[in-house]
């Protein structure tokens, strides 16, 4: 049901932006920003079950004390934030900055995953010997 509320909010905001864009571009931008903020607030209010599941997974004994799951979740978080920032840059007309943010996000994700890769290579080499 939340997606229906979000879709209705976005549809109403989009129509209002289209109506205001010709004569009041500043108000159209304000409506657009407020609509995006409202969608984010609605989404983040629903995130507590996901955070509890992540806490359960990382505190367990899965993947060497949760290190593997924690690493994968950190890489996922980096990729989501980088994609969000890049999309904002593209919407603002800053394509070069968007590409730079995406590249930075990829590099940070690879750096964050290095301990997991080292652990995997160590396990593989000990298995082969």
Which residue intervals of 22-128 are DSSP H helices?
25-44, 48-59, 62-91, 95-128
Q: What is the distance between the alpha carbons of residues 129 and 111, in angstroms, rounded to a whole number?
A: 28
Tally the C-alpha atoms within 13 A of residue 21's C-alpha that lie toward its C-beta.
8
Tokens of 14: 């989009």
Helix axes 2-21, 25-44, angle to 10 degrees: 170
Higher-pLDDT residue of 109 and 51 is 109
Whether this prediction's pTM lies above 0.85 is answered by: no
Burial class of residue 55 (count of CB atoms within 10 Å of its CB; 0-12, 13-18, 19+) = exposed
Count of Cβ atoms closer than 10 Å to residue 13 Cβ: 19
Given pLDDT bands bounded at 50, 70 and 90, which one contains residue 54? confident
Q: What is the distance between the alpha carbons of residues 26 and 45, in angstroms, rounded to a whole number?
A: 29
User: Which pLDDT tens digit goes with each residue over 64-104?
Assistant: 555 677 788 888 889 999 998 999 888 888 889 999 999 99
Place of tokens 């994968």: 72
Among 5-9, 56-60, 103-107, where is mean pLDDT lowest?
56-60
Query: So what's the pLDDT on residue 33?
Result: 87
Where in the chain are the domains? 1-46, 50-129
63 Cβ contact partners less than 8 Å away, ≥ 6 residues apart: 69
């Amino acid at each position: 049901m939340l997606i229906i509320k979000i879709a209705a909010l976005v549809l109403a905001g989009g129509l209002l932006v289209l109506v205001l864009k010709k004569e009041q571009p500043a108000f159209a931008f304000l409506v657009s920003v407020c609509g995006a903020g409202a969608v984010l607030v609605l989404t983040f209010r629903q995130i507590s079950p996901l955070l509890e599941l992540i806490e359960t997974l990382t505190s367990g004994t899965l993947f060497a004390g949760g290190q593997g799951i924690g690493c994968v979740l950190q890489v996922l978080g980096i990729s989501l934030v980088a994609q969000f920032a890049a999309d904002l840059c593209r919407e603002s007309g800053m394509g070069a900055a968007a590409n730079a943010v995406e590249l930075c996000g990829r590099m940070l994700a690879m750096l964050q995953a290095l301990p997991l890769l080292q652990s995997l290579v160590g396990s593989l080499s000990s298995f082969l010997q």
